[in-house]
Amino acid sequence: MTLKLIKNLTIVGAGKMGKALISGWLSNGLSREELTIIGRDIEESSILINTFKIKLTSSEEKNIKSDILVLAVKPQVMPDVLKKISPIIDSNTIIISIAAGITMDFMRSHVGNENRIIRAMPNTPAAIGKGMTVLFSDKELNNGEKGFVTDLMSSIGKVSWIKKENIMNLVTAISGSGPAYFFHLTECLINIAKSEGLDKELAEKLSMETFIGAASLAEKYKTMSIEEHRINVTSPGGTTEAALNELMSQNALQDLMYKAVKSAVARGNALSGK
Ligand SMILES: NC(=O)c1ccc[n+]([C@@H]2O[C@H](COP(=O)([O-])OP(=O)(O)OC[C@H]3O[C@@H](n4cnc5c(N)ncnc54)[C@H](OP(=O)(O)O)[C@@H]3O)[C@@H](O)[C@H]2O)c1
């Protein structure tokens, strides 16, 4: 998948997720000439300019032509950003918002009814083409529009469209925030290995390589379920079984993960004003 045929794309906000998207798109053939980045503090953005070799623009700039506008700012600043960028939106601009919890109704109240608006929930592995993005639109997109948005987000990983907006906060809690859960599990292993006597370097190497190896194995043998992968490591009466008995008895880890996901959903609901 390459993005050589893309139209003008403007992205507002180049923080963690904005940078991940930009890196993914550029390495998949999006031309620098077609890309505009709107940053908040232009003076301080030399790192961005050096990293991406792209001119940075201010949201006060009125002459930007944008067929696709990607909003990658924090939900809290979205009202201000939508006000500032209104001069560069016309009725043909396709708007993609990746902000957690920002609803279609909220977007429509600022943008109006004509535009195609897409809520997207990507995640940070997008930076290396391994992202997972969930997409929702409140209007029927024509094949060209839907294909175009699908191609754009597929260039940074896998894509799923959903039909109901009300599952977006759950989706966010699973795949949007999800990478952090796996990182934290690895952090826990590192800390335990160190506290039980391994040196830092070995603790990090063992935990990291295990995290990467397990994910790669699951990716390579997708026909096997995750449960089968787990069972493959677990000899009856062995060491893994002893550990899993702790994690799985009375659903210990699952219950904790349930609480974590529910907290993320609740935060999404709060951001959505629910
Ligand atoms: N991080 C994730 O894994 C993830 C996953 C899925 C979705 N998201 C969503 O992605 C959005 C961005 O998250 P993030 O983690 O990338 O946050 P972030 O690192 O804080 O990035 C937000 C960026 O927007 C900039 N910004 C703020 N006000 C602006 C304005 N008026 N005009 C232009 N740029 C402005 C910020 O600049 P300053 O630093 O100068 O304020 C910052 O560079 C959020 O809505 C989040 O819900 C994030």
User: What's residue 194's pLDDT?
Assistant: 98
Lowest-confidence region among 1-5, 77-81, 253-257: 1-5
> Which of the listed ranges 37-46, 52-61, 98-107, 209-218 does the model predict with the highest average pLDDT?
209-218
Provide the pLDDT confidence category of residue 77 given band limits of 50, 70 and 90.
very high
pTM of structure:
0.89
Beta strands, E only, the chain: 9-12, 35-38, 56-57, 68-71, 94-97, 116-121, 131-137, 157-161
Residue 52: closest CA among 98, 96, 11, 93:
11
Cβ of 134 below 6 Å from ligand 1 = no
Residue 106 has pLDDT above 60, yes or no: yes
Range(s) for CATH 1.10.3730.10 in the chain? 178-271
> What pLDDT score does 41 carry?
64
* Top-confidence residue, 48 or 140: 140
Evaluate if residue 1 carries a pLDDT over 50.
no
Residue whose C-alpha is closest to residue 82's, from 91, 90, 71, 92: 71
Overall average pLDDT of the 253-258 stretch: 98
- Check pocket membership of 115 for ligand 1, CB cut-off 6 A: no
**Second-level CATH architecture of 9-175:** 3-Layer(aba) Sandwich (3.40)
> What's the pLDDT band for 127 if we cut at 50, 70, 90?
confident
Residue nearest to atom 39 of ligand 1 (CA): 15
> Would you say residue 6 has pLDDT above 80?
no
> For domain 178-271, which CATH number applies: 1.10.3730.10, 3.40.50.150, 1.10.20.10, 3.30.1490.20?
1.10.3730.10
Asked if residues 39 and 65 have their Cβ atoms less than 8 Å apart, the reply is: no
Name the token pair of 89. 């939106």
Residues in the chain: 274
Shortest-distance Cα residue to atom 30 of ligand 1: 40
pLDDT of 37 > 80? The answer is: yes
pLDDT over 90 percentage in the chain: 64
Closest ligand 1 atom, residue 19 Cα: 16
Distances (CA, A) of 88 to 12, 29, 139, 200, 235: 12, 24, 21, 51, 61
Q: 22-26, 54-58, 82-86: which has the minimum mean pLDDT?
A: 54-58
Residue with the smallest CA separation from ligand 1 atom 29 is 40
Say whether pLDDT at 4 is over 60: no
How far apart are the C-alpha atoms of 83 and 71, rounded to whole Å?
A: 12
Q: Mind listing the pLDDT tens digit for each residue in 180-192?
A: 999 999 999 999 9
For position 43, what pLDDT does the model report? 53
Whether residue 101 has its Cβ less than 6 Å from ligand 1: no
Q: What's the mean pLDDT in 88-95? A: 89
The pLDDT tens digits of the residues spanning 162-213 come to: 999 999 999 999 999 999 999 999 999 999 999 999 999 999 999 999 999 9
Pick 266 or 46 by higher pLDDT. 266
Write out the residue limits of the CATH 3.40.50.720 domain(s) in the chain.
9-175
